[in-house]
Structure 1
Amino acid sequence: MFTSSQMLDKMNAHIEALRFTRSPKGLYAPVEYVLSMGGKRIRPVLMLMAYNLYKEDVARIYGPATGVEVYHNYTLLHDDLMDNADKRRGKATVHKVWDDNTAILSGDAMLVLAYQFISDCPTEHLKEVLDLFSQTALEICEGQQMDMEFEHRDDVLANEYIEMIRLKTAVLLAASLKIGAILGGASASDAEYLYQFGIRIGVAFQLQDDLLDVYGDTAVFGKNIGGDILCNKKTYMLIKVLEHANEAQRGELKKWIAAETFKADEKIKAVTLLYDEIGVRTVCENLMQQYYTSAMENLSAVNVAAELKTELIDLTKSLMHRKL
């Protein structure tokens, strides 16, 4: 068994060694730039760890593992363009270094490259893996569209938000685990348990991100808190605070949502105070814990020796215990 940090080192080394030799270079330079930014590589690491529950030769699936990482970075490249973001992981985004058209086209190339990498697996598993990956890619588009539509709605329901983050965030974690299990020769039931584990961890992880954006320690979280509040992002907590607020509280909240000019620190402080008064932090923490507990139940049901699951459990705990 390899540790998660060993898996990360393996994936980093493999991705750093990739060379895109086709031309024109202007198409592939942004791809290399995006992949050079690093990141946690959670998705390929999860794929390798799921495979490692059944087999030791993890190098055999570097291709598919690279595929999910290239695909994930493709979604980030296009997200940055859609959001007109200036920075990603502390570096200028592709559309800022090059231009919008380059970001679109190089992103499209990354999607094709992702499929090429994903396809680098045994023939007997190829259709199942490609079907799962294609379904996942489509679901992520659906989640992104829902997120975009939420920006223009003031009636988003909590269950709609959970479905959006399931699609936008959780399904790729789940698919990474399931593909690793399939390639490792897992039973259909084990592969599905690992998929459901990934879904639930993905939702819990995003709920924690929502919490951290309001209540996190900037030094620990790595970015300024209150960003979601400033842009009126439809997070689970905003949806629940609108649901549970009394008339006066709802009026105060809507005043801040509608305000076109304001001091950032004043808005963050006022909205956070409403969150505290209404108690949505606890509501969000409770739901996050429910998803985490359900995730661990699914992992527990995977039919391999308990000691083989220790690394996955430890990685999950480290992801879910970022400081508030």
Structure 2
Amino acid sequence: MSKELLAEQIAGWHAAGEHNKICEAVLALPEQEQTDELICLLARALNNKDDFCGALEVLDSIRNRYSDNPFFCVRYGFALYQLHREHEALDWFRKAQAGGLEEINETPGTYHPKSIAKWIIFAERWAPRRIEKNAFEAECRIKRSREPQHADFTDFDFSGFWDDCDYSLEKYTGNTPADTEIEEAEAELGYRLPESYKALVRLHNGGLLLDKYFENPLQREWEPQIFGISSIYGISSDKMYSLTGDRGSRFWITEWGYPDIGVAVCDCPSGGHDMIFLDYSDCGPEGEPCVVHIHQEGDYERTYLADNFEDFVRGLISMDEDGE
């Protein structure tokens, strides 16, 4: 098949939403036949499959010789934008516009604009916010201790904390775990669990919470002010909602696509569309993880919540009916 016929076939597949066929067709070609134009079309398909990291990877392979192409620029910018790198995407949208591209009709999502000018407006709005948020999180990570911390909750008032309803006791709460069970869970997860977490599950091995929230440490009008927390997962493999249960940490990573940065430790009222993770990305599997919120429907955007699990638990608040 000639390059012209293949490009026509790819256009038809794109219109039909058959992006996997585009990927398979381009990648099946001998390397010498994978032209820059075809690789750029492959990136478009990957963007439409929400594989933004993959799109950046293939575009980077031709960046030195093809980055003046306005379609390359807009596809590169779109992938960066979806990966919450709006401050980097802005220059690429501007470059696409300077190259004569005014509109595109290839990005997924009903609410994505077709106008390059609107993408520039979006990126201009969010770029300084992203820079501020990234700087705030970087400072938090620099200041916090990554070494394992000793902690317990002997002085903590748990009245009004746990919701020991029948459903919680059936699906979440296990018996007090033995040390061997904790060690087995750590081995299965591949991470040393925080001492504060171990202390908590020895007192109450997971369960639903009574109307609990955590305040966003970065209080800005463009950031969520609070996050609802539904439960804390315990250590009990026979409970569906536990660290190693059927709906445990690995389930959310492998089945729902959450980033493989640590351990899913709490669920939220959205039923899986946002989660709380122990984040080991800056400390390694043996270090002290921080706690982050991850928004699945927001392209897995992370929000830094607490330096460690103990601070997270102690920071949980209740709200009355007036939201105060």
Higher RCO by CA contacts (8 Å cutoff, separation 6 or greater)? 1
TM-score by length of 2: 0.25
TM-score by length of 1: 0.25
- Choose between structure 1 and 2: higher helix proportion: 1
